[in-house]
């Protein structure tokens, strides 16, 4: 982020910042985003001191993007919920590399489940909005941290995106009378 300050000192400074501030700083520039998303920072970031350990056992979702295995999860942090996705490259049955795809904060009253990815590699999520009876389908734009509702609504777990598909399949329950 700065060529005049040693990277270890920058890591120490960022380690003292709250997660919410780091998420906001990711939008300053591409260099800041890269530095914050850097695996070394994430590995060295001392999260348990700032967030209770019990918040790190959320359900994880697994998806696929090309040849990469995608791990998607979320955790509560204060008044927001943070979602993230990692791309794991698997070679010979073991993980050869991993990279952070995105980290996005959103209101805690929305629950998101990763379904797949668009042709432009943007995440497609099933959004559960509290106090509403339906789930909506949304495309996430990670760079601007915006969720665009695409107008499809259904019951819980009704959406499904098959691997290597560019279309959405909506399971419709038939009602027998």
Name the pTM for this structure.
0.50
How large is the angle between the packed helices 7-15 and 30-37, nearest 10 degrees?
80
Q: Would you place residue 177 in the very low, low, confident or very high pLDDT band (cuts 50, 70, 90)?
A: very low
Give residue-wise pLDDT tens across range 27-40.
777 777 766 666 45
Give residue-wise pLDDT tens across range 49-62.
444 333 334 567 77
Higher per-residue confidence, 107 vs 171: 107
**Mean per-residue pLDDT, 40-50:** 50
């Amino acid at each position: 982020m700065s060529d005049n300050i040693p990277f270890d000192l920058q890591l120490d400074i960022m380690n003292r910042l709250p997660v919410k501030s780091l998420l906001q700083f990711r939008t300053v520039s591409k260099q800041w985003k890269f530095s914050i998303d850097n695996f070394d920072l994430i590995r060295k970031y001392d999260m348990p001191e700032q967030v209770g350990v019990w918040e790190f056992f959320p359900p994880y979702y697994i998806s696929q993007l090309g040849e990469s295995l995608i791990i998607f999860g979320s955790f509560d942090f204060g008044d927001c919920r943070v979602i993230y996705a990692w791309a794991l490259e698997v070679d010979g049955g073991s993980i050869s590399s991993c990279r952070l795809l995105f980290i996005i904060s959103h209101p805690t009253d929305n629950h998101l489940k990763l379904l797949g990815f668009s042709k432009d590699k943007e995440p497609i999520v099933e959004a559960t909005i509290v106090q509403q009876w339906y789930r909506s389908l949304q495309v996430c734009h990670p760079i601007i941290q915006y969720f665009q509702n695409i107008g499809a609504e259904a019951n819980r777990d009704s959406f499904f995106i098959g691997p290597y598909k560019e279309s959405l399949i909506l399971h419709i329950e038939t009602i027998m009378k």
